[in-house]
Amino acid sequence: MKIPFTLKLNPTIMGLIRKEFLQTLRDPKMRMLIFFAPIVQMTLFGFAISSDVKNVRLSFIPHKGDTVLQHVYEHAITTGWFIPAKVTKSEAFAQISANEADAVIVPPPEGLTQAIARGEGRLQLLVNASNVLRAQSVEGYMNSILAQVVRRDFNQSNGPAPITFDMRILYNPTIRTAVFMVPGVMSLLICVITILLTSMSVSKEKETGTFEMLVSAPTKTWEIILGKTLPYVILGLSNIPLVLGVAVFAFDVPMRGSFFVLVLSAFIFICTTVAVGTLISILTNTQQQSMMAGFLFLFPAIQLSGLTFPLGNMPTVMKVFGYINPVTYFLELLRNIMLKGGDIHVIATHFSFLIIMAAILIFISFKKFKNTLG
């Protein structure tokens, strides 16, 4: 059989291919970013990511001598879907508002046991729906738990159940996914813009050969770092009104809290992400390395923030990475301010974590930059 064409290797193309491979793979940092980092990330995420909703923090309003209510709560905990909520407040709504509980069981005023005796065994279940995945699962879980309690305690499998519940959805009554996801997308966009732009700032100077001119100028280290990073802080802040306007007017996401507090939290978060980008830029030598390192930071930061997969579902080791992730705290701040109105305890706690992270990252970047000059 005669072959209709002959495959010829173009020497120019082959030379360019060889050059690109050599240029990309000769740097040990690039080899680590290309081959080693994806293996580590896939291994970590294989253990960390799960769409199953569990470890829902459940609380209940106790009533003296109410054995049935206590039994319902204990049975819910033993299922593995719920964990006891550590609460400091006695009022159900306050527990959810302060982010101490994801769901709260509220019995009738006289207690569930007495209400069942009167034929009115009805519970109220308050659910925090700022996390849509949890809210959608809790109702099904509670229906299953009550059915099991009725079968075991009342020996009843047919007819009207002696215990029923009303579910009250807080912060997102219509269970709209946009209300849950849009604040997360806002934090993602700000994170991407600031980290990627900042990460290429110093590495660009190194690649173009102007870094030596920059450091030989009569300037102090802090002046160089501030001059290279402040523009990206301003650019990041300028995006806040834009993304917030789209969230509120295009997706009808409520804005129940203070705009000033939201902007202040965004400023602290942007300082943190700019510090991350600056550190990446100092540790890398080319823009290609900076962009790769930026994406390798962003991917786990987004996945381990609670944006799409609840942190409570992750193994304890992976939760540690989630809790040292600045995106986790800014995402919780956005949802708390926009959907709940801003609980002072939550805001103060998350502000503190972000400020500490920003200070540590800025200190490390400053020290690394001085070492680079040395």
pLDDT in tens, 259-294: 999 999 999 999 999 989 888 888 888 888 888 888
* pLDDT-wise least confident of 74-88, 177-191, 213-227, 237-251: 213-227
Average pLDDT over residues 160-168: 78
Identify the top-confidence range among 3-17, 227-241, 314-328, 359-373: 227-241
Looking at residue 266, its pLDDT comes to: 92
pLDDT > 90 in the chain, percent: 9
- Of 59, 53, 141, 60, the C-alpha closest to 101 is 59
Confidence of residue 371 (pLDDT cuts 50, 70, 90): low
Q: What is the pLDDT of residues 228-259, one digit of tens each?
A: 788 888 888 888 888 888 888 888 888 989 99
CA distance 127 to 373: 55
- Find out whether 315 and 48 touch, Cβ atoms under 8 Å: yes
**So where are the chain's domains?**
56-170, 177-373
| DSSP element (H, E) containing 166 | strand 164-170
- Lowest mean pLDDT across 46-50, 199-203, 215-219, 329-333: 46-50
More confident residue, 50 or 245: 245
Q: What is the pLDDT of residue 35?
A: 67
Give residue 369's pLDDT: 73
Tell me the Cα Rg of the chain: 27
Write the pLDDT tens digit of every residue in 52-79. Answer: 667 788 998 887 878 888 888 888 888 8
Query: Does 102 score more than 80 pLDDT?
Result: yes
56-170 carries CATH number 3.30.450.20: no
Question: How many angstroms from the chain centroid is the CA of residue 213?
Answer: 40
